[in-house]
Chain A
Amino acid sequence: MITVFLNNKSHTVETGKTLYDFLVQHHQLKEYVAVTINNHLVVRRDFTTTLLKPNDCIDILIPMQGG
C-alpha cells in the first residue's frame, strides 16, 4: 500500500494502481476535469498508463466562472 494525496487529502491505495483506477474509485473521472500530479499535467490519454507513486500529489482542476 502507498499513500497519495488528492487535493491535499491523504488516501491509501494499493501499489500498482493507475491514475485511471484512482479517479474511478473516487468518482473523479469526468468530462470536465483535468488532473495534475506533482504540479505536472497528465493528459487524459495517459490516465491508464500512469502508475501512482508514494506521496504523489494529485490535483483535480475544474472549470470556474471567470472574466
Chain B
Amino acid sequence: MWNLMGKSLTSRLLLGTAHYPSLAVMTAAIQASGAEIITLAIQRQAPSAMGGEAFWQAIKDLNCHLLPNTAGCGDASTAIRTAEISRELFNTSWIKLEVIGDEYNLQADPIGLIKAAKILVEQGFEVFPYCTDDLVICQKLVDVGCKILMPWAAPIGSGKGILNPYALATLRKRLPDITLIVDAGIGKPSDAVQVMELGFDGVLLNTAVALAQQPVAMAQAFRHGIIAGHEAYCAGMMPERNVAHPSTSLIDTPFWHQENKV
C-alpha cells in the first residue's frame, strides 16, 4: 500500500483511457492492469451529438480515482480554465496539468506550466504537472507548491523508453520527498521496470497498453513489471562491478588449481 494525495493505493500504475480499440477493451485492460487511477479529458460536445454517456458509464463502473488532464492546452490561462471545468465535471481537485510548448514532440512549456501550477495550487488543486526531466524546472514546480511531479521518459506516445536515465535518477536523488511518477514515453514493461528500479513512485502510461496487439495482456505485463521494479528498488540492488566474480566459490572444489599441476 502507498499513499497518494490522501488516497491509499495498492497499484503504482496510472493508466490512460485513450486509443483503445473499444470501450470493452479499455475496461478489460484497466481491470487487468490493477490501476486505481485513470486519466481522462474533456471535450466540447459536437452540435448534433449526444455522446459521452457510454464512456462516462464505463468510467463509473470501473470505480477508479479520476485524474483529468488539460490536454490540448498551449498556455497557462486555457489550462487553468480546463482545470476548473474538470473539477466541476469530475468532482475532483486532482488535475494532470499539461501546458504544451511544442507540437512536434509535445514537450511541456516550462514557463506556462509553472505559472499555471502556481495559480492552480493557490486555488486548491492537487496539481500533477506533466513536465520534462529538467531538474531546475522540477525544483521550480516544487517551489510553487507541487507535491507530485510527472517528468517524461520520452515524448508522449513515442514508446522510446527512458531517453535520459541520468536525469531521472538525478530527480530522485535531489527530490527525495516529492512523489515522482514518470508520465509519457514508456513503450514496454521493461521500461517501467527501469523507472521503478530508479526509485520512482509510479508510472503513468497509455499508448503502450492501448496500442499493443493484445492490450489486456499488455496491461497485465505492465502490472507485474511495475511491481517487480518497485520490489527490486526496495530490496536494494547489488552494485555494478567491472570485473567478474564467480558465483560459486572455487576454493577446495575437486579440480581447484589442477591445471597448474599438469
Contacts and interface: CB of A to CB of B under 8 A. Distances in A.
A63 B47 contact: no
Interface in A9-64: 9, 27, 30-34, 36, 39, 41, 43-44, 59-64
Contacts of A32: 52-53, 56, 89
Contact of A66 (B17, B46, B52, B85): B17
B45 to A, nearest CB: 4
B85 A63 contact: no
Most central of B39, B47, B157, B207 by chain A CB within 10 Å = B47
B20 A65 contact: yes
B18 A66 contact: yes
Contact of A9 (B47, B55, B90, B206): B47
A64 B43 CA distance: 6
Given A67-B16, A67-B156, A67-B207, A34 B85 contact: yes
Interface residues of B, number: 38
A48 B224 CA distance: 50
A62 B207 contact: no
Contact of B40 (A41, A44, A60, A66): A66
Interface string B185-205: 000000000000000000001
A64 B40 contact: yes
B39 A41 contact: no
Contacts of A9: 47-48
Nearest to B130: A67
B55 to A, nearest CB: 6
B84 interface: yes
A62 B40 contact: no
Interface string B95-134: 0000000000000000000000000000000000000000
Given A6-B47, A7-B46, A32-B56, A65 B40 contact: yes
Nearest to B14: A67
Contact of B81 (A39, A62, A63): A39
6 contacts: A7-B45, A34-B86, A34-B89, A59-B45, A63-B52, A63-B90
